[in-house]
Amino acid sequence: MSILVDENTKLLVQGITGSFGARHASLSLAYGTKLVAGVTPGKGGQKFEDVVPIFDTVSQAVNETGATASAIFVPPPFAADAILEAADAGVELIVCITEGIPVMDMMRVKDALRGSKSRLIGPNCPGLVTPGRGEKSHGGCRIGIAPGYIHKRGNVGVVSRSGTLTYEAVWQLTQLGYGQSTCVGIGGDPINGTNHLDVLEMFNNDPETEAIIMIGEIGGSAEVDAARWAKENCKKPIAGFIAGATAPPGRRMGHAGAIVGGEEDTAQAKKRILAECGIAVAETPSDMAKTLLERWGK
């Protein structure tokens, strides 16, 4: 098993004819993802790489292909409407890669998705990967921009606010011979669709996931909330890393959500609380996999 996506997930890409969307749609196809449709208004009837049909609307794509997941590569002014279009079409998993969506737009999206059957990953995220079981892990599902070749099928779940640190943790695990069940980049914006706690709950309920790496950063309380939940509910070993230890208070560092606004928003406070909750905390990015294996007893 895995969480959120697997080799049977049917993916559509909104913005498939743009340079960025096209490049990563092509990489997902090469990885073995079931990319069944693209959506670009005004280009319906064309085909992407001569095999993937392109539609004018998401509803047309879903009705024709049965797509259950969408990757959004749409410019920031239009990305919120793209998310809502996917939700209106009944897409179960919406993965928004777009960075720079206005906060007011995301507030509107967040409100509209309440009670919806659609789950949003992102925005401003690298997406997610469930590695396949074949050669070079092909045959799994890659949605977004993560480099597929670094992944290996296994039993470690990875959840992270940072794309780069997601890749670092995955590569460390793979180099040490430990594969991943699913890797989820939730994004670094202040308003997102899925948080650390949501993903920890899914990993906790997934029989294939035996251990977890949780990567966070300064700003907000998501990592602290997840750690406190895990202390009471999760028996699987967890290693954590918090980026931003040298960030000056009150200054945004990198992600829009990476700004210290309260006492528990600092890296030092988050690291302390994670440790108090039984999570093994890596001191540097290079120690993430090693810290997990020590906590796991491997």
| 68 assigned binding-site residue | no
30, two tokens:
């090469």
Ramachandran bin of 42, using left for φ above 0, alpha for ψ from -120 to 50, beta for the remaining angles:
left
Looking at the annotation, which residues are catalytic?
Answer: 255
| 241 assigned binding-site residue | no
CB atoms within 10 A of CB 202: 18
3-state secondary structure at position 215: strand
| 98 assigned binding-site residue | yes
| 99 assigned binding-site residue | yes
CB atoms within 10 A of CB 249: 10
Q: List, edge to edge, every strand of the sheet that includes 119-121.
A: 47-48, 52-55, 34-39, 10-14, 69-72, 93-96, 119-121
| 10 assigned binding-site residue | no
3-state secondary structure at position 159: strand
| 284 assigned binding-site residue | no
- How far apart CA 214 and CA 223 sit, in angstroms, is 8
| 17 assigned binding-site residue | yes
Residue numbering of the annotated binding site: 17-20, 43, 97-99, 167
Residue numbering of the annotated binding site for substrate: 167
